[in-house]
Amino acid sequence: MLWNTVFPYLLSGISVGGQYALIAIGYTMVYGILRLINFAHGDVFMVAGILMVYAVASGMPLWITVPLVLIVTSLIGFLIERAAYKPLRSAPRMSVMISAIGVSYTLQNLVLYITGGLNKTYPTIPWISDTVEIMGAKTKLVTVVTPFLTVILVVLLVLLINRTKVGMAMRAVSKDFETSQLMGIRINSVISVTFVIGSFLAAVGSVLYFTNYPTVIQTSGAMPGLKAFVAAVFGGIGSIPGAVIGAFIIGIMENIIKGLDVILFKAGIISKPLGLATFSDAFTFALLIIILLVKPTGLFGEKATDKV
């Protein structure tokens, strides 16, 4: 009986987890290479959503709009890196972080200007918006598709990183920035590739995410972005499998907490709702603080030594 109450929350948790995972990869890769929390990444994710709204509104067929949005978002990621992070390559890390916050502010204001600050309805994408019934729980097909697509993309990415020359360069740069430069690796192009991949995955994530949450506004990217970052830290920053597992755990826990009132009520533990759903966002951050204190390197992170 209780399973029937928990299952829908679990299901949407897995789905959201997959979407967070796609965003988290962008964070973890950039942090691995530049040691930068790319605060603008969540906003790139939101911009992908807005692009989709306008692309569909312009009347193009879907088989053009989806690839177009993915490509344009990757391009935006590339341009942001070139314009806002590259000039600060030798600056202190905090300056780059402030620049990232500035980019986030700029993207949000730009979208505010374009949309007029109104909620934009996300277009319905056929097939993945269809309703299906799994074990008595009604949901959109996207919920089922997300985890599989996420796993496929992650496997491809891991192959890219482990088997190709670019991937090898990425690993080298994340191990030691300066030495790899001396070894003749063109750091700037490696960093650009990282941003392109990260933005591409964020765009895929946005297509899946906004199919479930049907409106986009300039602030839509902030929360998923922060949560994906927490997922990256939780899994061990710099580790891709870690980010994915962290994202799934956070997605599931968050949705369970959203339904905790109902679940506890059905289980007979509480007699009136406590409004615990308020804490679904706060929980993520509590988890972050606990993991930072107990195991700062995360689940799969490498141990870093401090040098004087």
Partner 1 sequence: MTKKTTRRPSRAAILSFIIILAIYVLVFVAEQVLPATSMLFTVLKKGATYALVAVSMNLLNGFTGIFSLGQAGFMLIGAYVYAMFTIPVADRASVYQYFNGGIIQFTLPWFLAMILAGLVAALFAWLIGLPVLRLKSDYLAIATLGFAEIIRAVFQWKELGPVTNGSNMLRLFPNFNSFNITDADGHVVVYLSTIVPFLIAGICIGLIVLLLHSGYGRAFRAIHDDEIAAEAMGINLAHHKRMAFCISSFFAGVGGAMLAMYQTTVQAKSFTTAMTYEILLIVVIGGVGSITGSVCGSFLFVACSEWWLRFLDNEQFIGSFQVPLLRNGFRLVVFSIIIMIVVLFFRRGLFGTTELPDLFRHGRKESALK
Contacts with partner 1, residue ranges (CB under 8 A): 35, 37, 84, 87-88, 91, 93-95, 97-99, 101-106, 108-110, 112-114, 116-117, 219, 222, 226, 229-230, 233, 274-275, 278-279, 281-282, 284-286, 288-289, 292-293, 296, 308
Our CA dihedral for 291, 296, 300, 303, rounded to 10 degrees, sits at: -170
101 versus 267: smaller Cβ distance to partner 1: 101
Least gap, CB of 18 to partner 1 (angstroms): 23
Sign of the dihedral through C-alpha 173, 98, 106, 233: positive
Name the minimum Å distance from CB 108 to partner 1.
8
Report the alpha-carbon distance of residue 216 to residue 121 in Å, rounded. Answer: 6
- Which tokens sit at 145? 């598709």
Q: Shortest Cβ distance from residue 98 to partner 1 (Å)?
A: 5
Q: Which is nearer to partner 1, 10 or 97 (CB)?
A: 97
Shortest CB 204 distance to partner 1, Å: 25
Measure the CA–CA gap between 12 and 27, rounded to whole angstroms. Answer: 23
Shortest distance, position 5 Cβ to partner 1, whole Å: 22
CA distances from 286 to 20, 273, 289, 292 (A): 17, 22, 5, 10
- How many angstroms separate the CA atoms of 55 and 57, rounded? 5
Residue number, 73 or 108, with CB nearest to partner 1? 108
- Please answer whether residues 115 and 54 qualify as being in contact, where contact means their C-beta atoms are separated by less than 8 angstroms: no
Nearer to partner 1, 145 or 281 (CB): 281
Q: Is 190 exposed, middle or buried (0-12, 13-18, 19+ CB in 10 A)?
A: buried
**Minimum CB distance to partner 1 smaller for 67 or for 117:** 117
Is residue 297 helix, strand or coil? coil
Angular region, 43: left φ>0, alpha ψ -120 to 50, beta rest: alpha
Between residues 67 and 87, which has the closer beta carbon with respect to partner 1? 87
**How far apart are CB 194 and partner 1 at their closest, in Å?**
18
